[in-house]
Amino acid sequence: MRIILLGPPGGGKGTQGDFLVKRTGFPRISTGDLLRQAVQEGTALGREAEAAMKQGGLVRDEIVLDLVRERISRPDCRGGYVLDGYPRTLSQAKDVEALDPDRPEIVVAIDVSAEEIVRRLASRRSCPDCGAVFNLIVRKPAREGVCDACRGTLAGREDDRPEIVRERLRVYAEKTEPLLAYYAKKGTLHRVDGEKGMDATAAAIREILDAALGAGRTGARG
């Protein structure tokens, strides 16, 4: 099974992806995380990606495809995987189908308004050391400014600055939103309201998943 999480930046794909990991045992593959790691490591690929990321634009399809190809070829993806932040363009959607054509697919689109996104991203903090994500309103760390998981020092992401967020939302509307129609036509799209709170959104996604996979299969993991 390939589970694709679609939705605007800051819409909760990472958080819901983590719930899905617990539920299914599949790994979550975030292209944003893979790219940030490449940037941090200073690889050639990371250096090329960095400029686009800083400006809130998209990294070239070929670069992201290489990362995804390598990641899904690993043994932990054999049973399935959760894609978070990929695909983001129609050509990426076709790339992932070509890469792994026989895998059944569910697409979960998390609907969140632009207003709510701006509000959420302004209060998002993440750990540069382990990648854990917090929110000063709904998911506070136990100690202010300190990562619960690894004790790293939390920081706002550079691309969560309001002017960059506006650009990311513009790019989302232009390049990624057309995927909704694409997957609706393909018959794999499910939409959930992402403004009802983390738990309600998780419950809605769980229902979709249970219907698609059969309750017995996912029920074992809580």
- Contact residues toward ligand AMP (CB under 6 A) are 9, 31-32, 35, 52-53, 56-59, 64, 85-86, 88, 92, 159, 168
Catalytic residue among 13, 36, 120, 125, which? 13
* Amino acid code (one letter) for 149: A
Which of residues 111 and 210 has its CB atom nearest to ligand AMP in the complex? 111
Is 47 a catalytic site residue?
no
Residue 13 annotated among the catalytic residues of the structure: yes
3-class SS letters over 174-200:
HHHCHHHHHHHHHCCEEEEECCCCHHH
List beta partners, residue 106. Answer: 3
Residue 42 to residues 35, 39, 158, Cα–Cα distance (Å): 10, 5, 17
Find the catalytic residue in 36, 71, 88, 120.
88
Residue 12 three-state SS: coil
Told to judge if 69 belongs to the known catalytic residues of this protein, a careful annotator would answer: no
Q: Which two tokens stand for residue 159?
A: 């691309």
125 is catalytic: no
Q: How far is the CB of 151 from ligand AMP (least distance, A)?
A: 23
DSSP secondary structure code for residue 113 in this structure: -
Query: Rounded to the nearest whole angstrom, what is the least distance from the CB of residue 215 to ligand AMP in the complex?
Result: 30
Annotated catalytic residue 23:
no
Active site residues: 13, 88, 124, 157, 168
